Amino acid sequence: MQCAQLGRAAALLLLLLAAARAAPVHARPGAAAPIEEACPRPPPGSIVSQPPEVQSRDGVLKLDLQLRSYRRPDRSVRYCYLSAGAPAPTLRLHPGDLLELRLKNELTDLDPAAAAMPGMTMTPAVPGADAHHSGADPTGGIDPCRSGVMTGVSTNLHFHGLTVPARCHEDEVLKTSIQPGDPPFEYRFRIPDNEPPGLYWYHPHIHGFSSRQVLGGASGALIIEGIERAVPQVAGLPERVLVIRDQDLLNPNAPPSKSEPVVPHNLIDRDGDSANNGTGFGRPAKDLSINFVPVPWPDYPPARIRVKPGTRELWRVLNASALTYLNLALIYGRAPQQLGLVAIDGVPLASSGHTVPITWVDHIGVPPGARVEFIVNGPGEGVPAMFVTRTVDTGQGGENDPNRALASIVAAPDATEPPALPVDHAPLPAAALPWLGDVQPARVRKLYFSEKLDNPNDPNSASAFFITVDGFAPKAFDPADGPDIVARQGDVEDWIIENRSTELHAFHIHQLHFMLLDWNGAPVNEPFLRDTVNVPYFNGRMLEYPNVRVRMDFRDPDSVGTFVYHCHLLEHEDAGMMGIIRVEPRSDMTTAPP
Ligand SMILES: [Cu+2]
């Protein structure tokens, strides 16, 4: 208790310091747009337009990006990325391209709810230093590379899914922290030549505050070009980028829609979210939006996607939600349509060389943080068509993710198609390393998700969230701690990840992809890769804890370094469900050049 109070006092001090440093920037006339207009959003029912895009030229993508926030009259806080006035642009690069991104922190507002979040820690990343001296540089400022400062107005970037080193100015999130008033901070790295073509994304990753910033809208897509070379069937197809975000309920106190069946009263968990009622109906924990068009509870007025009748398109869908699982389906009339899945988490299914490039399915589960890319055969003119998310059973202790509409698909001959993918059939270079499924693991580790309940009889009373290496005592994540796991460059390892809690979690690791081997003891040996996977929940009656077995790949030189793995439900991550891994270089192998 005392510790928490000290932490809060330190937080306040840092906030005051940050505010004092930020003040001159925003006091300067004309320095920034009026803060009320920082993050405009379309109203419910709007047409879904494509996110603005910035493309690399001659091998370089150079852009300035601002992160802004503003508090709405209802006290909720919106966050948004802006580049030359364009909100949350999609970054488009080719393998081998250089990204030069200058991030300016223009956050001005702290959400008081964030400061009260469980598990929030103010520990500086440099052991032995107090918060406002940690990472001090000789000029008297705080070195953003070493600061590790974690406040509601700190920020940084994670490039989710990219195999880029966990180093400052690249994809490092443990110590990198940029404050308001800091000069623009440069992210500068080259996309690896062998980065699979597909959909990735960027979002902030400040421990204790990721959830508020992402929930407020701080996220954007990143596309590595060339998917048509891995999957010739998508060459020339119009490509539609759809970013699904969640946000606090617009109408939290509204009664259920009259069209809904009567469902048991929703329990509310300590974060104020609706707990799973297991029916597929009832109030959701969060509203969803699609390219920022909200689809709010209780009536879910669908956004509108205009397509040319009967056109085949590639849909590239990112679940940028802070804590909402998706289960996507497309329904024409009453019939679920076949979706041609071509890539998961940025990696084409064809990349493994083991499988047909397309898997036709009628629904696709997407954990928070994950991406799916699939071929859609558009409806004919006049056919009622709806893009929906079906319910996800998140367990007794989980959030309510009910059935709901996202967008109606309106087929019209005068619809403007999004730009088409190039027609390039030059095959991608063959993989330089053997397929992960064919490599013997150097060792097996076991980790487990768990929660500490205030009241063991109430699954909604969770107060602390852990991911623990089996054999060690559960502890909330602290960036000042040493690594929980030390692995060796060049190895592959099998990890059994268990879930001892009564809610679904989504395991994610930075800097690499993995292969799903077993699901609850049954071999699945997926012939493709992921960077985020659901770990099924414990129902209290099973003889063993549910688990997944995944094969981790530490063979890429860019995966050497110290980085994190965590639950991608950001409330859980912020509350401590995160661990540190160090992949040690091997002297007989190359590492990424500095
Ligand atoms: Cu979780």
Q: What is the pLDDT of residues 300-312, one digit of tens each?
A: 999 999 999 999 9
Q: Are 375 and 340 in contact (CB under 8 A)?
A: yes
SS3 call for 207: coil
Indicate the length of the chain as a whole number: 594
581 CA to middle of ligand 1, Å? 18
User: CA 193, 205, 468, 498 torsion: positive or negative?
Assistant: negative
Please give the DSSP secondary-structure letter assigned to residue 520. T
Q: Are 175 and 147 in contact (CB under 8 A)?
A: yes
Whole-angstrom CA distances from 222 to 83, 89, 206 are 14, 9, 20
**474: pLDDT strictly greater than 70:** yes
225 CA to middle of ligand 1, Å? 31
Question: What does pTM read for this prediction?
Answer: 0.89
Q: Are 56 and 93 in contact (CB under 8 A)?
A: yes
CA distance 295 to 302: 6
Q: What are phi and psi of 392, to 5 degrees?
A: -120, 125
486 CA to middle of ligand 1, Å? 23
CA distance 514 to 531: 6
466 CA to middle of ligand 1, Å? 9
456 CA to middle of ligand 1, Å? 18
pLDDT band of 31, cuts 50, 70, 90 = very low
Strand partners, 562: 582
21 CA to middle of ligand 1, Å? 35
pLDDT at 12: 34
333 CA to middle of ligand 1, Å? 35
452 CA to middle of ligand 1, Å? 13
Helix H or strand E segment including 376: strand 371-377
Paired tokens of 385: 């068509």
Paired tokens of 338: 């076949």
573 CA to middle of ligand 1, Å? 7
37 CA to middle of ligand 1, Å? 34
pLDDT band of 356, cuts 50, 70, 90 = confident
Cis bond upstream, residue 298 (ω within 30): yes
Please give the DSSP secondary-structure letter assigned to residue 401. B
- Cα maximum dimension of the chain: 67
pLDDT band of 141, cuts 50, 70, 90 = low
Give the pLDDT mean for 156-169.
Answer: 96
CA distance 451 to 499: 10
Cβ atoms within 10 A of the Cβ of 109, count? 18
Mean pLDDT of the chain: 87
- Of 20-34, 106-120, 314-328, 560-574, minimum mean pLDDT range: 20-34
**4: pLDDT strictly greater than 80:** no
Q: List Cβ neighbours of 87 (8 Å cut-off, separation of 6 or more).
A: 39, 40, 51, 52, 80, 81, 292
28 CA to middle of ligand 1, Å? 42
- Ion ligand 1 residue ranges (Cβ < 5 Å): 505, 567, 569, 572
pLDDT at 11: 37
Could you write out the DSSP letters of every residue in 548-580? EEEEEE--SGGG-EEEEEEESSHHHHHTT-EEE
pLDDT band of 406, cuts 50, 70, 90 = very high
357 CA to middle of ligand 1, Å? 31
Place of tokens 């897509």: 221
pLDDT at 588: 85
570 CA to middle of ligand 1, Å? 7
Query: Which amino acid belongs to residue 580?
Result: I
Cβ atoms within 10 A of the Cβ of 458, count? 14
Could you write out the DSSP letters of every residue in 88-146? SPEEEE-TTPEEEEEEEEE-----HHHHT-TT-----SSTTS-TTTTTB-TTSSB-TTT
118 CA to middle of ligand 1, Å? 14
- Of 289-298, 353-362, 553-562, minimum mean pLDDT range: 353-362
SS (H, E, C) 297-318: CCCCCCEEEEECCCCEEEEEEE
pLDDT at 88: 97
Paired tokens of 361: 């399915």
Cβ atoms within 10 A of the Cβ of 481, count? 13
CA distance 97 to 480: 34
- The answer for 7, left when phi > 0, alpha when psi is -120 to 50, beta otherwise, is alpha
Q: What are phi and psi of 228, to 5 degrees?
A: -65, -20
Query: Which amino acid belongs to residue 4?
Result: A
Helix H or strand E segment including 172: none
Q: What are phi and psi of 517, to 5 degrees?
A: -90, -55
Paired tokens of 418: 């999004």
519 CA to middle of ligand 1, Å? 17
CA distance 236 to 314: 10
Paired tokens of 234: 């998508």
**394: pLDDT strictly greater than 50:** yes
pLDDT at 485: 97
pLDDT at 427: 85
**455: pLDDT strictly greater than 70:** yes
492 CA to middle of ligand 1, Å? 25
